[in-house]
Amino acid sequence: MTAPVKFNNFRAFYSFYLTEHSNRTSRRLHFIGSTIAILLTIVAVFTGSGWMLILAMVQAYTFAWVGHFFYERNRPATFNHPINSFIGDWRMWWDILTGRIPF
């Protein structure tokens, strides 16, 4: 097993991150999972339901990992770069929402 690649900044990581999300179906699954996570988080805030927050995280990662394992056929960057991957998920979500990346 090789050591994880180190990135000097988020911009360099995000370029790598996008190569790991080149499959359109995988990107769609990420976007849908993240959107559902936002909705579940809003529900959790208004209802005070902690289990909804847990559900938001579990389902978001489930959608993303299905995309990686079945469509991208790669290992999620979350395993080696959890913080940058979390930020990258939301940056990609925004880039898809604003049309910078095709849905």
Q: What is the pLDDT of residues 72-102, one digit of tens each?
A: 999 999 999 999 999 999 999 999 999 999 9
| Percent of the chain surpassing pLDDT 70 | 97
Confidence band (pLDDT; 50, 70, 90) for 103? very high
Give the model confidence (pLDDT) of 10-69 as tens digits: 999 999 999 999 999 999 999 999 999 999 999 999 999 999 999 999 999 999 999 999
If residue 83 lies in a helix (H) or strand (E), which one and from where to where? helix 82-97
- H/E stretch holding 89 reads helix 82-97
CA distance 2 to 13: 18
Four-CA torsion 80, 83, 85, 90, nearest 10 degrees: 170
H-helix segments, 20-66: 24-47, 50-66
pLDDT the model gives residue 3: 67
